[in-house]
């Protein structure tokens, strides 16, 4: 929605992921009350954002398990991502440029598959397998840099034939937006900086979301009164 060049510290950044979720929810208001609506979060950081979105829209909340394939010596840089259902997306240009051997890729995939299964069990094993066919699915994360993770998620969702796929994030690198728009029917983003720097720079508080916090939010989203009231500043379940 809003594009910026080099990072401007005078911009009103997100206080935290809950604040980002509330501001993103307002940008998604046209979907409020729509039947067969589902909000899907990418754990862990996407869950607090998606929780606010789902409550504002009056929609159920679930998760989609996706893991970034980080470089061995630089884990924040993604050489690809995997998602439930055997989905794998690789950044072949980066892999060729850095001459990453096949055995390193496979070792990383196996490790991330194990972590994906661990998280599924940590969230009680009941989450991450919603019925998506024919529904309007809003896929939420706390921010997008290269897009590898959320593109793997979008591909996994498409295999289940939703009626509409919306990608919604508080901040996304402007060069990555074209990739998201090719993967979804609609893309909603609050900040679209030409120079991202890092997703965390757009938050005052970008501390790691824990498994316990994810469970708490998912349990709160399952309560009957979840969509009855909207959160106040700093409100938690």
Peptide bond into 44 cis (omega under 30): yes
Cα–Cα–Cα angle for 118, 134, 124, nearest 5°? 20
Q: What confidence tens digit (pLDDT) does each residue in 13-63 have?
A: 999 999 999 999 999 999 998 989 999 999 999 999 999 999 999 999 999
Residue with tokens 């690789």: 90
Domain ranges of the chain: 2-64+128-221
Do 45 and 209 meet the contact criterion of CB atoms below 8 Å apart?
A: yes
DSSP assignment of 158-182 equals: HTT--SEEEEEEEEB-HHHHHHHHH
Main-chain phi, psi angles of 30, to 5 degrees: -65, -20
State the pTM of this model. Answer: 0.83
* C-alpha to C-alpha distance for 64 and 67, rounded to whole angstroms: 10
Q: Which fold has domain 2-64+128-221?
A: Rossmann fold (3.40.50)
pLDDT score for 233: 42
Q: Name every residue whose Cβ is closer than 8 Å to that of residue 2 and which is 6 or more positions away in sequence.
A: 190, 191, 192
* C-alpha to C-alpha distance for 218 and 233, rounded to whole angstroms: 19
- Model confidence at 124, pLDDT cuts 50, 70, 90, reads low
* C-alpha to C-alpha distance for 58 and 6, rounded to whole angstroms: 36
Q: What confidence tens digit (pLDDT) does each residue in 158-205 have?
A: 989 999 999 999 999 999 999 999 999 999 999 999 888 889 999 999
């Amino acid at each position: 929605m809003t594009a910026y060049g080099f990072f401007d510290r005078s911009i009103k950044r997100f206080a935290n992921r809950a604040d980002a979720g509330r501001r993103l929810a307002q940008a998604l208001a046209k979907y409020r009350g729509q039947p067969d609506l589902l909000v899907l979060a990418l754990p862990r950081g996407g869950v607090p954002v998606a929780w606010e979105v789902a409550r504002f829209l009056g929609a159920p909340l679930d998760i989609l398990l996706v893991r970034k394939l980080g470089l061995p010596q630089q884990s924040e840089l993604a050489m690809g991502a995997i998602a439930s259902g055997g989905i794998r997306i690789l950044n072949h240009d980066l892999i060729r440029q850095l001459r990453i051997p096949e055995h390193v890729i496979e070792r990383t995939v196996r490790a991330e598959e194990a972590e994906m299964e661990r998280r599924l069990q940590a969230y009680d094993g009941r989450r991450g397998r919603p019925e998506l066919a024919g529904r309007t699915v809003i896929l939420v994360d706390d921010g997008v840099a290269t897009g590898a993770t959320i593109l793997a998620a979008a591909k996994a969702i498409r295999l289940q034939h939703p009626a509409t796929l919306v990608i919604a994030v508080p901040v996304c690198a402007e060069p990555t937006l074209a990739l998201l728009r090719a993967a979804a029917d609609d893309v909603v983003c609050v900040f679209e900086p030409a120079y991202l720097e890092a997703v965390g720079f757009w938050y005052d508080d970008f501390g790691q979301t824990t498994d316990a916090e994810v469970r708490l939010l998912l349990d709160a989203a399952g309560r009957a009164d979840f969509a009855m009231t909207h959160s106040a500043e700093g409100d938690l379940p």
